[in-house]
Homo-oligomer: A and B are copies of this chain.
Amino acid sequence: MKKELGIFTLLLVLCGVTAVMNPRFLSVTNLTNMANIIGLYGVFSLGLGMVIITGGIDLSVGSMFALAGVLLSMALTEWHWPWPLAAAFVIAIPMLLGWAHGSLVTRMKIQPFIVTLCGLLLYRGLARYIAGDGTKGLGNAEGFETFASLAKGKFFGLPAPFVILIVLSVIMWFVLHRSVYGRYLLAVGRNEDAARFSGINTRFVIGTSYVLMGLLTGVAGILFAFYTNSISPSNHGNFFELYGIAAAVLGGCSLRGGEGSVIGILIGTALLQVLQNLVNLLGIPSSLNFAVMGAVVLFGVLADQFFQNRAAKKLVRH
């Protein structure tokens, strides 16, 4: 928790500043919108976090979104599958691809960066080809209203993606911080040899982390498809891998593996989204949008580092 404290403070400060400068920040609409978007990004960022903890990376998230979105739209509106089947299908595909990634990484010993970079190219190409380079949509959800309301409705006044994120986070918290599997993830990420010498099936652990990533990507892909309600395969989900990685790393995951927490990833995700909200609400020129985000993140990380160094020094002195 100590590691996440710094970034959590930054998050609070940002929220405070924005709320003071524009009270609408705290309006129900705004908070709901933000919860919704945090839910969307959080789900796949959790998955990315797990993969990063094993010392891997996944660059193919955005492209998988495109592929999943196109397939979802076609299954529902063109092939008229029953929605549970369509949902299962759209979650199974990324899991299968995740399994393939995992196998290539563990059995063929190809760097995760390369494997998933190829994935990034491949799946987007496939999505565009399958969609015939046209935009696919979910229209008015005729015939799968239940599904739509599960994916973009509200539960207890909270947007569905947010509720789903909370549920998944609780599960993932137990998985990462309380289960044997989670401990193995951390072990494998830090020192694969040492883990293997302890009798851990490192291939299985690393491989399944990509499958888990696939599962979460599939879920997030469905949520995201319903959010935009339309999937233009050439740019649906573009750059999302970067957001996810940024969220995980901001939240304390180390790209060298072996380090990271569920809470951290959630705070990282929230921070990125609050930042965007802030830029919009404070009426900062859109062109400076990115610049403000970059500057704040950098500032936050620097401040965090500064305080951690000071704390470390104090520890030594006494």
Contact = CB atoms under 8 A, between A and B. Distances in A.
A315 interface: no
Q: How many copies does the complex hold?
A: 2
Contacts of A305: 108-110
Contacts of A302: 104, 108, 110
Interface stretch (A145-153, A156-164, A249-257): A249-257
A191 to B, nearest CB: 13
A120 B298 CA distance: 11
A120 B133 CA distance: 29
Interface in A55-113: 59, 104, 108-111, 113
Contacts of A245: 113
B286 A121 contact: no
A286 B302 CA distance: 44
Interface residues of A, number: 47
Scoring A117, A133, A295 by chain B CB atoms within 10 A of each residue's CB, the highest score goes to A117
Contacts of A126: 291
B290 A122 contact: yes
Contact of A121 (B250, B287, B294): B294
Contacts of A287: 125, 128-129, 132-133, 233
B298 A122 contact: yes
Interface in A226-258: 233, 242, 245-246, 249-250, 254-255
A118 interface: yes
Contact of A291 (B59, B121, B297): B121
A121 B300 CA distance: 15
A96 B233 CA distance: 38
Contacts of A17: none
A125 B290 contact: yes
A237 to B, nearest CB: 14
Contacts of A119: 294
Given A117-B242, A129-B285, A242-B117, A111 B249 contact: yes
A232 to B, nearest CB: 12
A293 interface: yes
Nearest to A115: B298
Scoring A59, A108, A287 by chain B CB atoms within 10 A of each residue's CB, the highest score goes to A287
Nearest to A130: B287
A129 B289 CA distance: 9
Contact of A118 (B115, B118, B289, B297): B297
8 contacts: A59-B242, A104-B298, A113-B255, A117-B242, A120-B294, A122-B295, A128-B287, A129-B291
By Cβ-Cβ distance, the 3 closest A-B pairs, closest first, are: A125-B291, A121-B294, A122-B294
Interface of A: 59, 104, 108-111, 113-115, 117-126, 128-129, 132-133, 233, 242, 245-246, 249-250, 254-255, 285-295, 297-298, 301-302, 305
